[in-house]
Amino acid sequence: MSAHSRTRRRATLTATAAACVLAVTLAGCSGTTKNDTKNDTKEAASSAKADPNAPLKKGLKIAFLPKQINNPYEKIVDDAGIGAVKEFGGSGKEVGPSDAKASSQVSYINTLIQQRQDAILIAANDPNAVCGPLKQAMKQDIKVVAYDSDTAKDCRQLFINQASSEEIGRSQVQHLAKQLDYKGEIAILSATQNATNQNTWIGFMKDELKKPEYKDLKLVKVAYGDDDDQKSFQETQGLLKAYPKLKGIISPTTVGIAAASRYISDSSYKGKVVINGLGTPNQMRKYVKDGTVEQFSLWDPKKLGYLGSYAAAALASGQITGAEGEKFKAGDLGEYTIGKDGEVILGPPTVFDKNNIDDFDF
Amino acid sequence: MNTLVKYLRWDTVVGVLLIAVFLAGSGTTEGFSDTANLSAALDDTAEIALIALPMTLLVVAGQVDLSVASMLGLSSALAGSLWEAGWAFETIVPLCLLVGALGGLLNGWLVTRVGLPSLAVTIGTLTLYRGLASVVLGDKAVADFPETYSQWATYTQTVPGTFIPYPVALFGVLAVITAVVLHCTAFGRSLYAIGAQEDAAYFAGIRVKRIKLVLFVLAGFVASFAGIVFTLRYGSARADNGVGLELVVIASVLLGGVDFDGGRGTLGGAVAGVLLIGLLNNLLTLNDVSNEIQVIVTGLLLVASVLTPRVVAAVSERRHRRAATASA
C-alpha cells in the first residue's frame, strides 16, 4: 500500500514538474504581446456614394435590439421607432434579451442577420462584445445604427445620441449643485458598471466637479443598481446608511432614479436628501407631486426612437453613408446633419418639474 | 412493453427531441439550417458545452461545482489585465489554466479534506472567484485582442470544409474522450459507484477522495479555458463575463438525463441536452419568440427531464407488482 502510494506520489510530482517546465518554456518563448499587434485591420472605406435625393425604400425591415426588453424606457424608444417605420411603409420590430448582460445580445444579432433585416438598431450593453457579429452584419449589407448606448466606432455606421454626452453629464452636476447651494456630500447611483453611456456621463460629471465653484461639493461614491429596481432600491438604502451626511444623489438612469425616489419618499430622508438625474415623467410624477423630487431631466425618448428609424432608413435607402457632414430628413423632426464619428445628436435634454410634468405622457 | 420502457431512457428521448427540433426548424424556418446560422448557434454554446463535460463527471459522482462561471470570469479578467500589461498571449493562456486548476484544487480540497458538501463549498467559491475577478480587472473591459487570436473562437472561421467553429470542434474531440473515460474505463465506473453509494464505493477500495479532487481540478481547468474562449469570442475581457452561466451548464446536464443525486446518466445525454437548449433557443429567436417564453420553454423541459424518468420508473414498478400479485 505504502509503496503503491509512493509511486503514485512520484508520478504526480513528475507530472507537476513537467507541467512547470512546459509553462516556463512557453513563457520564455517570445510570444505575441499587445505591442506586437498594431491594428492593421482597417476595413476598406465603403465605396458607396451617398445620394441625398434617393427616395426612402418601401418595405424596409428594421429591427430594434435594446439593452434588455423589459426596460420601460427602452420600450418607449423602440415603440416610437417602430411607429416611424410604419410611416415610411416598412416593417419594424423589437427583439432582445431579458437581462442587460454584455454577451446576451450577440445571439440576437446573429439571428437578425439570418432573417435578412435591412437595418439593425442597437443599444449596446458592451461596446466591444457585440462588435464581431455587427461587422458580420455590415459585410452582408445590413445597416447598423447604435442608439442610446454606443458600440465601438467601427462596428456601426451611425450613433444616435440623445444629447451631447458632455451636456448631459455637466448639466446634472450643475442642477444638483444649485439645489444644494454648492455644498455637501453627494453620490451617484448608476446602472451597470460597464454601460457606455452612463460611464461617459459620469466621466463628465467628475470633470465638472473639478471646477472651483464645486470645492465644497464632495462625490463620495458611485453605486451600481444594475438597472434593477430592487438592487437600485437597496443601493440607495446602503448609500444613506454608509454616508449619514449625504445631501444629494444623482441617478442618471430611469430605473435607478425611480427606485431611489421610492425609498426616499417613504423614509425620514424625505425633504433632506435631494434626488436628481434622468427619469421619465410617468415614473416620476408621483414623487414630484409629493415633494420627494423637485426636478429631473431627460430627452424625449419617443423622438430618439423616431430619429433612429429615419436614420436607419436613410442609410438603407442610400441617402447617406454615415460620413460626416451628410444630411437627411427625419420626418416631423426635420433635417439632421451627421457629426464627427458618425454621431447624430437629438438635442438638449428637457428639465421636468411640477410646472411642466403634466404636459408629458411617457 | 418492458423492452419499450427499457429503450425509453430519458437521454434517448432528448436525442430524439434534438433531431425533431432540427428537422422542424429546417422545415419551417428560413435561415435555420443555413451553415452560417448553425455555426453561430453552435459557437454560442461553446463555453457551456466545454464546461458541461467535467460537470457531467461531477454530477455522476454526486457532486456539483457552482463556481465554474466565476472561474470563467476570473480567467477572463486575468487574461485581460495581463494582456493590457503587455504580457505575451502564449504566456497568459497557461497561466490562466494554472489558476483554474488551483481554483479547482481549492474546491476539491475543501470538499475532500475538510469534508464540506460540494454545493456549499462552491457557493462560497462562486462569490470568491467572482470577487477576485473584480479585484483583478475592476470595472474595466479590455478589448484590443488581435484578430489572429479571436478568429479561433468566432464562428466566422470554421474547421476547413465544415461549418464547425474551432471551439466546438475541440469540444467534439474532448466529448469523445470524456465519453470513453466515463463509459469504458474503471475510472468511469468508479464515478457511478461514488455517485450511487459513496461509503460502499470507499469500502470497495475506490479512492473516493482522490477521484473527487481530480474532478474538481478538471472542472476548474476547463472553466478557465472556457474563460479564454469567451474572452476571444466576444473580444471583451471583463470581470462579469459569464455571470449565471453555471446554471445553464447544470440545467443542460440535468436535461440530458444525468441524475442530480448522482450515479446515473450518460455523457451522450448531457451533450444532447446542451445542443438541444442551444438549437431550441436559436430556433425560437429566429421565430421572434420573446426571451421570457424561451426561458419558460427551457424550464418546462427541465421539469420534464427530472420528472419523466421517475414517472416511467413508478409506472413500470406498479405494473411489475400487479403482474406479481396476479401470478400469485
Is A98 close to B292, i.e. CB distance below 8 A? yes
- Summarize the confidence of residues B306-315 as an average pLDDT: 82
| Confidence at residue B120, expressed as pLDDT on a 0 to 100 scale | 97
Looking at the complex, report in whole angstroms how far the Cα of residue B192 sits from the nearest Cα belonging to chain A: 23
Looking at the complex, report in whole angstroms how far the Cα of residue B83 sits from the nearest Cα belonging to chain A: 6
pLDDT confidence of A194, banded at 50, 70, 90?
confident
| Confidence at residue A26, expressed as pLDDT on a 0 to 100 scale | 52
Instruction: State which residue of chain B sits closest to A192, comparing Cα positions.
Output: B139
Compute the mean pLDDT over every residue in chain B, rounded to the nearest whole number: 93
pLDDT confidence of A195, banded at 50, 70, 90?
confident
Tens of pLDDT along A312-347? Answer: 999 999 999 999 999 999 999 999 999 999 999 998
Is B144 close to A39, i.e. CB distance below 8 A? yes
| Confidence at residue B274, expressed as pLDDT on a 0 to 100 scale | 97
> Which residues of chain B neighbour A22 with C-beta distances below 8 Å?
94
Under 8 Å CB pairs connecting chains A and B tally to 127
| Confidence at residue A45, expressed as pLDDT on a 0 to 100 scale | 44
Sign, Cα dihedral of A353, A354, A356, A361: positive
**pLDDT reading at A67 higher than 60:** yes
**pLDDT reading at B3 higher than 90:** no
Q: Which three cell numbers stand for residue B21?
A: 427540433
Chain B within 8 Å of A44 (Cβ-Cβ)?
no
Chain B within 8 Å of A268 (Cβ-Cβ)?
no
**pLDDT reading at B5 higher than 50:** yes
Tens of pLDDT along B205-241? Answer: 999 999 999 999 999 999 999 999 999 999 999 999 9
- Partner residue facing B98 (CB), from A23, A69, A194: A23
| Confidence at residue B258, expressed as pLDDT on a 0 to 100 scale | 94
| Confidence at residue B307, expressed as pLDDT on a 0 to 100 scale | 86
**pLDDT reading at A355 higher than 80:** yes
pTM: 0.81
Residue A334 makes CB contacts below 8 A (sequence gap 6+) with: none
Tens of pLDDT along A96-134? Answer: 998 888 788 999 999 999 999 999 999 999 999 999 999
Q: Can you say whether residue A343 is alpha, beta or left, with left for phi > 0 and alpha for psi between -120 and 50 degrees?
A: beta
Chain B within 8 Å of A31 (Cβ-Cβ)?
yes
Residue A205 makes CB contacts below 8 A (sequence gap 6+) with: A169, A170, A172, A173, A188, A219, A250
| Confidence at residue A165, expressed as pLDDT on a 0 to 100 scale | 86
Enumerate residues 211 to 230 of chain A having a beta carbon within 8 A of any beta carbon in chain B.
none
Chain A within 8 Å of B196 (Cβ-Cβ)?
no
| Confidence at residue B311, expressed as pLDDT on a 0 to 100 scale | 84
| Confidence at residue B323, expressed as pLDDT on a 0 to 100 scale | 83
pLDDT confidence of B48, banded at 50, 70, 90?
very high
Looking at the complex, report in whole angstroms how far the Cα of residue B168 sits from the nearest Cα belonging to chain A: 16
Is B285 close to A32, i.e. CB distance below 8 A? no
Compute the mean pLDDT over every residue in chain A, rounded to the nearest whole number: 89
User: What is the Cα–Cα distance from B56 to B182, expressed in whole angstroms?
Assistant: 9
Instruction: State which residue of chain A sits closest to B138, comparing Cα positions.
Output: A193
% of chain A exceeding 70 in pLDDT:
88
Q: Which three cell numbers stand for residue B165?
A: 467553429
Q: How many CB atoms are located within 10 Å of the residue B101 CB? A: 20
pLDDT confidence of A33, banded at 50, 70, 90?
confident
Is B143 close to A127, i.e. CB distance below 8 A? yes
- Partner residue facing B156 (CB), from A35, A115, A136: A136
Enumerate residues 293 to 352 of chain A having a beta carbon within 8 A of any beta carbon in chain B.
none
User: What is the Cα–Cα distance from A243 to A276, expressed in whole angstroms?
Assistant: 18
Chain A within 8 Å of B146 (Cβ-Cβ)?
yes
Q: Which amino acid is at B25?
A: G
Chain B within 8 Å of A129 (Cβ-Cβ)?
yes
Backbone angles phi, psi at A132, to 5 degrees: -50, -60
**pLDDT reading at B169 higher than 80:** yes
Q: How many CA atoms lie within 13 A of A54 on its CB side?
A: 18
